[in-house]
Structures are given as C-alpha cells and as structure tokens.
C-alpha cells in the first residue's frame, strides 16, 4: 500500500485530478462522485454521492494533502464512514493552507479508485455562520447582544472579529412591518417600543469589503415588560455640537426638578465583551439641572466616542438613553468663508474661500450663496462647489448684496458654518448692440489705417534702398531715345560725325568719316580768296597728315 501511495503522489503532481485505480482489486466498486466540501465558520464537512447502489457493507474513507506534504494522510473523522458525508473539523491545519482531498469506497478487502477533489483554501470557501443572539427586554426597549460567528475561540474568523457588521431585522409579532438596522457593534439597544408587546429579531453577520455568503440566525422573540408608573423616562435625542473652545452636549427631557448625568466610552471598547465597566463620567456633566452641559475641548482627544445620559429625581433614576456616537472630527468648527465681489458688466464675479486650515479641509467644501438687491428683500440662493464663479444676468447699475456660508457634506460629516459678512457691489453697464457696432467700426478703421501706413512704409523703403534707374521726366525730355541708343550701341553701329579742322585762320577743312561699310573719305578745302583748285602734288603729303590728325581728333571727341 505504501508503494501504491507513492506512485499516486507522483501522478497527482504530473497530471490533472482524475479517478485513480486501486491496488487491491475492487473492479466491481465504483468510486464516489459529486465530491464537495462545505465550510461554515469552523465546521468542515466533506460530502459525496455513492457510485453504486447503497446498502451492503460499503464504507468510505478520505485522505488529505497540503502543499508542504509529500504523502497523503488519513483525514480525521472520515475513515470507514457508512454515510455519504463526514465532519473533519478536527483537522489541525491553517485555514489559509491549500488542501487537496480524495475519497474512495471500500467493501471488505476491495476498494474503488480514488475520487479527488481539487485544491482549495478553507478561508476562501468558508461561509459566515449564524451569530448567536441574546435578548434582554425592558418596558420600552430591548437590548440585543450578539456573539460573533464561530464564537470567541474561532480560528476561521480570528483576524476578522472586529470587522463584522450586523444586519438586524426586527418586527412586532405576529405580523408587524420588518424594520432593518445595521450596526458594527455586538450590543444594540432598540428603544421607543410598546410595553407588554412581543418583538422578534433575526441577525446576519457580514464582513466589511468582502462579499461572502452568510447564514441568518434563527428568529428570536421576547416580550417587553410592564411599564412602571414610578420609573423615570430616559432622556432622548442626545446630541453634541461643537463651539470654538468647547463641546455642548444636549438632550431632551420633560421632567422638572430633575438632575442629569452623562457618561462617555471609547467606541472600540463596544466591540469587546463586558464593556459596561469602562464607561466614564463626562467632565462638567454630573448632577446638572439643565438639559445641556458644556465640555472643554481638551476633555476628548481625537477619536470616536459614545455618550449616554440618564435622569435622576430623588431616589429614582431613569434608564440610560440611547448611546450616541460622537466623532471629534465631525465637530470641527468650520469658520465663515471670506468673500470678494467684482462687478463685470451686468454680472458679479465672486471669489470665496476658507479663513483657516483644519481637519475638515481634507474634504471639499460647498458654498451656499444668497444674494439680493439692496433695495429689495427678495433673496435668491445658489450652491457652488467652485471658489471662483459668476452670478450672471443681473440688472445694470444696481447694487446687489451677497453673503455665503460653507457646507461640509460627506459620508462622515454633515456640518455648516455661519454666514460670513455681507458684501455689496454695484453692477456696471452691459454691452449693448450700439456699443458693439461702434467697436466694430473703430476696428475696421484701425485696420485700414494700418494697411495705409504699411503701404507708405514700403514705398519709402523701395525709394531709399531700391531706387528707379529711369531718369526724371525733366531730364528725359532733353535726351532723345536715339541719343541714348548711340551711347549704348557698339562701335560697329556708330554713325558718321562731322569734324572741322582749322589749319589756319584762312583755311577750313571738312572731313567726313566713312561708315564701316568701306566708303571713302572725302576732303574739302577752301581758301578765303576767290581762287580754287586742287592741291598741288607738293602739298599732297601735308594735306594727308592734316587729314589723319583730323580723324584722331574726331575719334577723341566721340
């Protein structure tokens, strides 16, 4: 058998859960099926369905294994069981360990194959069981004492006892309307009941932040007692309000010539048993005759407390009032907000903020704004989460007054400040259509003037840095287009020019230069006398020399 178990363990590691064959025959025995585990609080139940016909001498046995174990071990409370379920609550393992179970059928020396249940963690599979409830009746109240699921020695909920909250459903028997209540504390006072009446209660426990199936408790019923004539009524509506330097504890009571006593308790102590001895006297609230007392702020450190009050008259005392929860943070005084107004046309711009920083500033404030015309009493109210906003569509040139207060509304708090100082401001004229028309016209003229200025500037730049090469009209009228062409034309296109050579006072020679086409030069000479004729051969060389000088002089003049 030991060898077979070793082989079985290897198969468990190597493959998925399945039906394992047995070494001791048992071919006619079928393994159990529909194997399930049911865990409620600290009660562990393994159940299954028989694979064959019930009857005979068939029994069932189960084994278990954790991740830290190499072999299967016998499951306590589940060996040779004739029924189809067994209780293995005595198994000593951690509720956070991963566990595997297997079960088989046995008859004589024959055994069926194992049927294995996949790994599970007991804590994750556990249901919350029904809490135990104890009722204590008075004439007009019932004290409900709740024991946490699993009892005080529970291993399953050892880490969660302080995290339970309880849903209480009560009704007037036999057919009254059901009234649901919730409390995180195991002791709860139902008050304002009728004497000599039967009331019934059932309770279910839940865990914070965990959705887990839970089982309701059985129904518990009790009769309230007969009302005593001499019994003083308990104070009602116990409440606390915060002031700048103190707390004010108040309550309601109808008796005259009565004295009152108030007690306090740390809230966390209410989750313990026998906390009655932990109640302490509230400073300045003992034997007071008024229905209120003032408690210094330093009497309570930061935290959550419970308060209760009772009345006394001679030798008679009333029952304690309902216990009122008191959170010091929720009684933080919120100072009135500071506000600034600014007129913008026919609207008011509002700037609002807190005067000081305190605990409440971890949560966003909301501001209640009330405004009205100074000459009227008709008030209007708006609520804003912003600290900078506008009140639009107001009358032009009208004085409006505004006041504000801060509101703190959250799951934990519901508080408000006093109204701050009233601020008044006169609105300005609005922007009419004629104003818009004038503004648009001015804008158009401004754009046109800017474009003209830019054009003038462009012309100035062009005139200074990029001058025109065309001569002015005053010069252009004296210079013909043909003369300009003569200057720019090449030498080949130059035209003839007449030159005059003065040989002496009596002789003038005229020379005409020929074009590049090869025309000959002609020379003319004349004398002041009446004689005319050709040059002599002797004078021919001198005439040619003068002709060459004339040509050079003409070229230089050109």
Q: Per-residue pLDDT tens for 509-555?
A: 444 444 444 444 433 343 433 344 444 444 444 444 444 444 444 44
Which two structure tokens, joined as six digits, stand for 380? 């209007």
How does pLDDT run across 328-366, given as a tens digit for each residue?
877 777 888 999 999 988 899 999 988 766 555 666 788
Element (H, E) at 548: helix 537-557
Angle (CA) 402-404-407 rounded to 5° is 160
Q: Among 385, 331, 392, which residue's Cα sits nearest to residue 358?
A: 331
Q: How far is CA 421 from CA 238, 335, 369, 427, in A?
A: 32, 12, 12, 19
Q: What are the angstrom distances between the C-alpha of 235 and each of 143, 227, 231, 239, 312?
A: 17, 16, 12, 11, 10
d(CA 7, CA 17) in angstroms, rounded, equals 14
pLDDT, residue 496, reads 52
List the one residue out of 252, 198, 244 whose CA is nearest residue 225. Answer: 198
pTM > 0.85: yes or no: no
Task: Please say whether the beta carbons of 471 and 480 come within 8 A.
Answer: no
Query: What's the pLDDT at 426?
Result: 92
Q: pLDDT by residue (tens digit) across 76-97?
A: 999 999 999 999 999 999 999 9
Tell me the average pLDDT across 68-78: 93
Domains of the chain as residue ranges with CATH:
33-125 (2.60.40.10), 132-223 (2.60.40.10), 236-327 (2.60.40.10), 337-427 (2.60.40.10)
Assign 46 to helix, strand or coil: strand
Indicate the DSSP class of residue 256: S
In the numeric block, which tokens belong to residue 135?
Answer: 């009722």
The strand ranges marked E within 354-447 are 366-373, 380-384, 388-391, 399-409, 414-416, 423-426
Per-residue CA distances from 75 to 81, 100, 102, 112 (Å): 11, 11, 9, 17
The 10s digit of each residue's pLDDT in 4-45 is: 333 222 233 323 344 444 444 445 788 999 999 999 999 999
């Amino acid at each position: 058998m030991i060898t077979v178990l070793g082989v079985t363990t290897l198969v468990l590691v190597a493959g998925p859960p399945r039906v394992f064959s047995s070494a001791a025959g048992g071919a006619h025995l079928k393994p159990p099926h529909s194997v399930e585990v049911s865990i409620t609080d600290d009660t562990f139940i393994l159940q299954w369905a028989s694979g064959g016909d019930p009857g005979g001498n068939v029994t069932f046995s189960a084994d278990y294994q954790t991740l830290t174990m190499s072999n299967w071990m016998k499951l306590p409370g589940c060996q040779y069981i004739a029924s189809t379920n067994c209780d293995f609550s005595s198994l000593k393992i951690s509720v956070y360990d991963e566990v595997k179970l297997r079960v088989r059928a046995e008859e004589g020396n024959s055994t069926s194959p194992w049927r294995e249940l996949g790994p599970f963690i007991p804590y994750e599979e556990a249901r919350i069981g029904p809490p135990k409830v104890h009722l204590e009746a008075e004439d007009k109240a019932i004290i409900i004492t709740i024991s946490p699921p699993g009892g005080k020695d529970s291993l399953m909920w050892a880490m969660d006892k302080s995290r339970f909250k309880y849903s209480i459903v009560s009704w007037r028997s036999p057919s009254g309307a059901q009234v649901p209540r919730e409390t995180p504390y195991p002791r709860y006072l139902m008050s304002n009941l009728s004497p000599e009446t039967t009331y019934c209660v059932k309770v279910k426990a839940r865990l914070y932040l965990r959705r887990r199936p839970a089982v309701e408790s059985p129904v518990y019923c009790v009769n309230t007692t007969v009302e005593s004539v001499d019994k003083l009524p308990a104070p009602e509506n116990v409440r606390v309000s915060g002031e700048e330097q103190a707390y004010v504890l108040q309550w309601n009571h109808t008796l005259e010539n009565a004295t009152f006593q108030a007690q306090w308790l740390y809230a966390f102590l209410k989750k313990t048993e026998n906390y009655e001895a932990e109640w302490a006297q509230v400073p300045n609230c003992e034997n007071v005759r008024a229905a209120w007392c003032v408690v210094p702020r330093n009497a309570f450190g930061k935290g959550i407390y419970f308060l209760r009050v009772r009345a006394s008259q001679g030798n008679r005392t009333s029952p304690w009032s309902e216990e009122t929860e008191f959170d010091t943070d929720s009684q933080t005084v919120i100072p009135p907000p500071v506000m600034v107004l600014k007129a913008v046309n026919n609207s008011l711009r509002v700037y609002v903020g807190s005067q000081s920083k305190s605990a409440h500033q971890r949560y966003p404030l909301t501001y209640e704004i009330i405004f009205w015309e100074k000459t009227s009493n008709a008030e209007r109210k708006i609520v804003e989460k912003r600290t900078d906003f506008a009140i639009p569509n107001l009358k032009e040139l009208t004085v409006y007054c505004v006041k504000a207060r801060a509101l703190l509304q959250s799951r934990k708090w519901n508080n408000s400040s006093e109204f701050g100082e009233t601020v008044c401001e006169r609105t300005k004229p609005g922007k009419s259509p004629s104003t818009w028309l004038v503004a648009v016209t001015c804008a158009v003229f401004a754009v046109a003037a800017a474009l003209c200025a830019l054009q003038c500037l462009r012309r100035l730049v062009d005139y200074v840095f990029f001058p025109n090469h065309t001569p002015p009209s005053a010069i252009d009228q004296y210079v013909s287009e043909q003369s300009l062409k003569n200057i720019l034309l090449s030498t080949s296109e130059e035209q003839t020019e007449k030159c005059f050579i003065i040989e002496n006072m009596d002789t003038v020679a005229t020379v005409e230069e020929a074009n590049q086409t090869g025309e000959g030069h002609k020379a003319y000479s004349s004398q002041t006398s009446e004689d005319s004729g050709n040059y002599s051969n002797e004078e021919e060389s001198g005439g040619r020399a003068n002709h060459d000088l004339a040509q050079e002089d003409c070229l230089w003049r050109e």
